[in-house]
Structure 1
Amino acid sequence: MAEVKKDTTKKTVSKVARKTKTADATKTQHIGLVKNDSWLEPFEDAIRGRHENAVNRISRLTGKGRKTLSDFAGGHLYFGLHKTARGWVFREWAPNATEIYLIGDFNGWQENPKYKMKRIEGTGNWELKLGAKALKHGDLYKMKVRWNGGEGERIPAWCRRVVQDESTKIFSAQVWNPEKPYVFKKKNFRPSKSPLLIYECHVGMSQDAEKVGTYKEFTENVLPRVIKDGYNCIQVMAIQEHPYYGSFGYHVSSFFAPSSRFGTPEDLKEMIDTAHRNGIAVIMDIVHSHAVKNEVEGLGNLAGDPCQFFYPGERREHPAWDSLCFDYGKDEVLHFLLSNCKYWLEEYHFDGFRFDGVTSMLYYSHGLGEAFGGYADYFNGHEDDNAICYLTLANKLIHDVNPYAITIAEEVSGMPGLAAKFEDGGYGFDYRMAMNIPDYWIKTIKELRDEDWKPSSIFWEVKNRRPDEKTISYCESHDQALVGDKTIIFRLIDADMYWHFKKGDENDVAHRGIALHKMIRLVTAASINGGYLNFMGNEFGHPEWIDFPREGNGWSYKYARRQWNLVDNMELDYHYLGDFDREMLKVITSIRNFQNKPVQEIWHNDGDQILAFSRGELIFVFNFNPTRSFTDYGFLVPTGSYEVVLNTDAKEFGGNGLADDTVMHMTVFDPMYVSDRKEWLKLYVPARSAVVLRRN
């Protein structure tokens, strides 16, 4: 879910140290988060308070015989519909209900005493036990719920399979108990994080045809492309069932059910297993920030209490998203959401989650209209401590269940500690999205002439992050490709893509766009400290926008697909960008733990529009100048010989091929820098190009 984006610049406030007396002397004893950032000292009490709140909540939830948070998060094993040795058992949490019947294909959708649930004494839970022949695989069903003053048909909150009737468009739960359930072939999988290279994707819009794509088609047609292109992780959107396809999967109704639009649970498991067998991690775009308002399909009014899962009063509805906000202060809601995390990890072998809409969870205001101009803005009492506690517990649980799991926060306010360790007082995410970077590129392309692009500003922005928190850097994601926005390639070339993107027929606008598209990606990927993300198709400059079928476009799928035929057509320029993206990732992964190598500036000159920096044995040189090429442009670098390993201006990437990349570049001695063990590396740097060199 796209959020209003804000600056994530590190804020500054006056320093105040908390000191404690010891027998020997006065010493400062700070929590880890404050040790790593002394500007947080004035807010250490708040940081400690949030951490202690999480610790106390864990202690409370793991009482009564539960040893771990993972033991607490087993709701999916108890609630919902389960086949047992004696038959079937169905349970639901519905404290406001007075009667509940199971209705469906098996009883003509009529209330039948045999299918009437019983309230478990002293709880808000209901239970129904049935014989083995009472239900069969494929049966459709719902709950018929009564409460004081009303009644309604409902899809169970914990159901694992929901399908939509093609003619009536009505959703129903479905009994899922196949004779041959899928058995994972790859039993143990450990994601590669050196670095994490994410291919963000949507199964439904992943095919060339104007239709809804399937898990099987994704496995057969898209996964091979991901593998070939060098990405080691896919981030899959719209997995949790959602009534409206056009919501991009962000208005979830059934949190435990994978979307049946794309196929069966077995198909999804096979897709994940196939990815694992090819070294590809699979993380899920999970939505715990809000839920769809629908009552029949969703949780909006499961049993006559509109606030069973959600905050009461004005806080119940999200003012911008037309959705409902979970009450993270309720233990039962934590049970539901934490169990949801564990379920997707264990049942489907997902390798982690990208948590959507975290900013919306953190603040009572959902971050709307907030400026976040200083550290005090994160500790002024407008934060939802319940949500902060939930996110901390979710990360703790996920990493307890799978120590190698990946968690990423989509968060735009810059809340410190989000991706810091739990033990240090952080919230425990592995990464946070560097959402400032795409904003910067949009602003630069829209507002500045090419002559005014400043390398110093570019370098600062792509490195603008907290040193103790890992980030996922990216130029653009699905957010920038939606109707009402534009991808980078479309901002650069626009309508000329339709007329001048064939080899030999390019105009100046197309040449400029091709050149800058590669340079923008390279400088962003080359400066990562955690991982890099690309949305499906953007690597080759997919044209146009994303627009899901809706009344306004005649329910067309024309823009809800990926036109792979464009990048496969060697007569068009798209393959230049795709080929470059593949080679760029090869260069980055050629250095072990590239993301941990320090980014060291060598030189920048805003007048020349030149930038150079190093990472390990690699040197990255950029000339953003649109018209000036430079001969023998010198940089002081470690003594040695350097070979070109990547050049954006190479002809195989749609460039001019002005430099001879077969030449080995030797450094030139300068007596002034003997003690530094540095010499001059002199290069020919064509206008609007970048080159990567490796020291031998």
Structure 2
Amino acid sequence: MEEHEDNVSIPEFNNLLQADPNLKRYENDFRRRHDMLRKQVLLLEEAEGGVDQFTRSYRSFGVQRLPDNSLFFKEWAPAAEALFLTGEFNGWDKFSHPYSKKEFGKWELTIPPKSDNSPAVDHRTRLKVVVHTKDGERLYRISPWAKYVTREEKSVIYDWVHWDPPQPYVQIHPRPKKPKSLRIYEAHVGIGSPEPKIASYNNFTHNVLPRIKDLGYNCIQLMAIMEHAYYASFGYQITSFFAASSRYGTPDELKELIDVAHSMGIVVLLDVVHSHASKNTEDGLNAFDGSDSCFFHSPPRGEHTLWDSRLFNYASWEVLRFLLSNLRWWMEEYCFDGFRFDGITSMLYHHHGIGTGFSGDYNEYFGLQVDEESLVYLMLSNHILHSLYPDCITIAEDVSGMPALCRRVEEGGLGFDYRLAMAIPDKWIQILKELKDEEWDMGNIVFTLTNRRYGEKCIAYAESHDQVLI
């Protein structure tokens, strides 16, 4: 029997109401959201053994080397008729290594080691998943869980490259303590050089990090790290969510960059893009199993018309597994200290903010226009991250002004630590472009600088990549 919203308890909801009494009339919305979160956590406990195990699914999906040097492959492709593995290891034979079909759209394959007991697939050799659809098509795909993908110089398509170095980089410096106040240096590794070329992780480590430290920054926010086939997207059309961009170097070189930053007392945040994904099929998530859905809603709900990209189905169990494990992967494997969640306005509302002006009327933040499935995904992400990593930092990019965005989940909020004060850089641009010096309105400037929700921490800034690059 469903629990009525009036009976749902939010442990510290009164704290939120004390900060903003206007939210009292939307109490049922908060209780419904919190109940959705509570039920999701209970389901994870019952079905998966808890959030810790569920969010470590990168240890079972994709490709894993077993203790006996066998290789275990696992994918989720619910609409596929058959799956095969091909690659340099088997001379690109399309049928010699079939996956076995399991429950709930999952497919598994185990390949024993070679005669010399080394793994059947060598480090840095190419692989492909061959998907046979119910319509008889044969598709070549990259595993959604691929840890490393590269592109040949004369090709526009990325290849899945098996990454299993004999001596992987081991980070030695602990994470710095969470700064009381952030001073953020936003950076794009590829443009971190005065030379007309794509710069490297090593260049950033040796030439840029020392300057950042000398300037007094205590936080670096790295954009364009998650692999993106279209370089001009500045990292916002993601094709491989678990792969650090190979344009700048290897995964080990990114790990070294973060390790050196930690040795300088600098925390490192990842600009994470879970609001949408590239429409690429051959080297992206789109149509992985041959269907128009899989990780996404079917069109039209699953398409972002302005970004020309696909939108995740946050109510899908396997999509939750994929995205939550993705956050955990970057925290565990690379030792990032937190995330800037990009473009979450698109997630919060069914209209994605397209053609919508937000006036601050509270009715804009509640009701049928709110996509509560994706909103609860953000609550769940923050709940898990802050439970597992108390010093984890999460920043929200939202243009709408959603109330309680940066209030704790226990209070009924979404759980972010900070929100970007996005009106401030726009105000400086307007002043510099449109006004003479003597026309500056100090009252208006002060209003813009202080226009924030009570009790929610903001990050003020003069400019970011939005102002510089776009």
TM range (shorter): over 0.9
Alpha-carbon distance in structure 2 between the residues aligned to 1:73 and 1:61: 10
The answer to whether the Cα contact below 8 Å between 2:157 and 2:282 also exists between their aligned partners in 1 is no
In the alignment, structure 1 residue 37 sits paired with structure 2 residue 24 = no
The answer to whether the Cα contact below 8 Å between 2:191 and 2:199 also exists between their aligned partners in 1 is yes
In the alignment, structure 1 residue 83 sits paired with structure 2 residue 69 = no
Matched ranges for 1:216-255 at <5 A:
216-255=202-241
Quick one: structure 1 residues 430 and 107, their matched pair in 2 at CA, closer, same or farther if it must change by over 3 Å? same
In the alignment, structure 1 residue 161 sits paired with structure 2 residue 148 = yes
The one-letter code sitting in structure 2 at the alignment partner of 1:79 is F
- SS of the aligned residue for 1:49 comes to helix
- SS of the aligned residue for 2:303 comes to coil
Q: Which sections of structure 1, spanning at least 5 residues, go unmatched?
A: 1-18, 21-28, 484-696
The one-letter code sitting in structure 1 at the alignment partner of 2:358 is F
Quick one: structure 1 residues 132 and 31, their matched pair in 2 at CA, closer, same or farther if it must change by over 3 Å? farther
Cα shift readout 1:110-142 (whole Å, capped 9, x = no counterpart): 2242x211112x331111111223111111111
Q: Residue 433 of structure 1 aligns with which residue?
A: 420
The answer to whether the Cα contact below 8 Å between 1:199 and 1:235 also exists between their aligned partners in 2 is yes
Cα shift readout 1:64-87 (whole Å, capped 9, x = no counterpart): 361x32222121111011111121
Matched ranges for 1:239-278 at <5 A:
239-278=225-264
CA shift at 1:177, angstroms?
1.1
Matched ranges for 1:507-518 at <5 A:
none
Choose which of 79, 101, 117 in structure 2 pairs with 1:119: 101
Q: Residue 682 of structure 1 aligns with which residue?
A: none
Q: Residue 508 of structure 1 aligns with which residue?
A: none
In the alignment, structure 1 residue 315 sits paired with structure 2 residue 286 = no
The one-letter code sitting in structure 1 at the alignment partner of 2:387 is D
- SS of the aligned residue for 1:474 comes to coil
Choose which of 34, 52, 55 in structure 2 pairs with 1:51: 34
CA shift at 1:380, angstroms?
2.8
The answer to whether the Cα contact below 8 Å between 1:190 and 1:404 also exists between their aligned partners in 2 is no
Q: Residue 110 of structure 2 aligns with which residue?
A: 129
Choose which of 37, 57, 61 in structure 1 pairs with 2:44: 61
CA shift at 1:417, angstroms?
0.7
- SS of the aligned residue for 2:300 comes to helix
Alpha-carbon distance in structure 2 between the residues aligned to 1:144 and 1:270: 34
Alpha-carbon distance in structure 1 between the residues aligned to 2:65 and 2:242: 17
* TM-score (structure 1 length as normaliser): 0.64
CA shift at 1:102, angstroms?
0.9
The one-letter code sitting in structure 1 at the alignment partner of 2:242 is F
**Identity score, percent:** 45
In the alignment, structure 1 residue 195 sits paired with structure 2 residue 195 = no
CA shift at 1:353, angstroms?
0.3
Alpha-carbon distance in structure 2 between the residues aligned to 1:32 and 1:412: 24
- SS of the aligned residue for 1:315 comes to coil
CA shift at 1:192, angstroms?
3.8
The answer to whether the Cα contact below 8 Å between 1:32 and 1:423 also exists between their aligned partners in 2 is no
The answer to whether the Cα contact below 8 Å between 1:345 and 1:351 also exists between their aligned partners in 2 is yes
CA shift at 1:275, angstroms?
0.3
Q: Residue 325 of structure 1 aligns with which residue?
A: 311
CA shift at 1:451, angstroms?
1.0
In the alignment, structure 1 residue 93 sits paired with structure 2 residue 76 = yes
Alpha-carbon distance in structure 1 between the residues aligned to 2:363 and 2:95: 59
Quick one: structure 1 residues 65 and 154, their matched pair in 2 at CA, closer, same or farther if it must change by over 3 Å? closer
Report the count of equivalent residues. 453
- SS of the aligned residue for 1:196 comes to coil
Larger radius of gyration: 1
The one-letter code sitting in structure 2 at the alignment partner of 1:304 is G
The one-letter code sitting in structure 1 at the alignment partner of 2:444 is S
Choose which of 124, 129, 148 in structure 2 pairs with 1:143: 129
The one-letter code sitting in structure 1 at the alignment partner of 2:99 is M
The answer to whether the Cα contact below 8 Å between 1:106 and 1:135 also exists between their aligned partners in 2 is yes
Q: Residue 3 of structure 2 aligns with which residue?
A: none
Choose which of 473, 476, 485 in structure 1 pairs with 2:463: 476
CA shift at 1:457, angstroms?
1.5
- SS of the aligned residue for 2:183 comes to strand
The answer to whether the Cα contact below 8 Å between 2:157 and 2:229 also exists between their aligned partners in 1 is no
The one-letter code sitting in structure 2 at the alignment partner of 1:125 is K
Alpha-carbon distance in structure 1 between the residues aligned to 2:48 and 2:280: 37
Quick one: structure 1 residues 110 and 433, their matched pair in 2 at CA, closer, same or farther if it must change by over 3 Å? same
Alpha-carbon distance in structure 1 between the residues aligned to 2:164 and 2:397: 35
Quick one: structure 1 residues 30 and 404, their matched pair in 2 at CA, closer, same or farther if it must change by over 3 Å? closer
The one-letter code sitting in structure 1 at the alignment partner of 2:71 is W
The one-letter code sitting in structure 2 at the alignment partner of 1:131 is P
The answer to whether the Cα contact below 8 Å between 1:34 and 1:44 also exists between their aligned partners in 2 is no
CA shift at 1:313, angstroms?
2.8
The one-letter code sitting in structure 2 at the alignment partner of 1:346 is E
The one-letter code sitting in structure 2 at the alignment partner of 1:369 is G
Alpha-carbon distance in structure 2 between the residues aligned to 1:352 and 1:117: 36
Alpha-carbon distance in structure 1 between the residues aligned to 2:342 and 2:456: 18
Matched ranges for 1:179-218 at <5 A:
179-186=166-173, 188-218=174-204
Choose which of 360, 363, 366 in structure 2 pairs with 1:376: 363
The answer to whether the Cα contact below 8 Å between 2:292 and 2:299 also exists between their aligned partners in 1 is no
CA shift at 1:170, angstroms?
2.8
The answer to whether the Cα contact below 8 Å between 1:143 and 1:155 also exists between their aligned partners in 2 is yes
Q: Residue 177 of structure 1 aligns with which residue?
A: 164
Alpha-carbon distance in structure 1 between the residues aligned to 2:161 and 2:274: 23
CA shift at 1:321, angstroms?
0.2
Quick one: structure 1 residues 30 and 97, their matched pair in 2 at CA, closer, same or farther if it must change by over 3 Å? closer
- SS of the aligned residue for 1:141 comes to strand
Please, which moves more after superposition, 355-364 or 99-108? 99-108
The answer to whether the Cα contact below 8 Å between 2:213 and 2:264 also exists between their aligned partners in 1 is yes
CA shift at 1:401, angstroms?
2.1
The answer to whether the Cα contact below 8 Å between 1:31 and 1:425 also exists between their aligned partners in 2 is no
The one-letter code sitting in structure 2 at the alignment partner of 1:471 is C
Alpha-carbon distance in structure 2 between the residues aligned to 1:332 and 1:31: 35
Choose which of 316, 320, 323 in structure 2 pairs with 1:337: 323
Matched ranges for 1:523-602 at <5 A:
none
* TM-score (structure 2 length as normaliser): 0.94
Alpha-carbon distance in structure 2 between the residues aligned to 1:364 and 1:177: 41
Alpha-carbon distance in structure 1 between the residues aligned to 2:412 and 2:176: 26
Alpha-carbon distance in structure 2 between the residues aligned to 1:140 and 1:30: 52
Cα shift readout 1:456-476 (whole Å, capped 9, x = no counterpart): 211121111112111111011
The one-letter code sitting in structure 1 at the alignment partner of 2:192 is S
The one-letter code sitting in structure 1 at the alignment partner of 2:414 is Y
- SS of the aligned residue for 2:452 comes to coil
The one-letter code sitting in structure 1 at the alignment partner of 2:110 is K
The answer to whether the Cα contact below 8 Å between 1:32 and 1:425 also exists between their aligned partners in 2 is no
Alpha-carbon distance in structure 2 between the residues aligned to 1:176 and 1:400: 30
The one-letter code sitting in structure 1 at the alignment partner of 2:161 is Q
Q: Residue 514 of structure 1 aligns with which residue?
A: none
Alpha-carbon distance in structure 2 between the residues aligned to 1:468 and 1:242: 36
- SS of the aligned residue for 2:312 comes to coil
Question: What's the C-alpha RMSD, in Å, of the aligned pairs?
Answer: 1.5
Alpha-carbon distance in structure 1 between the residues aligned to 2:48 and 2:430: 55
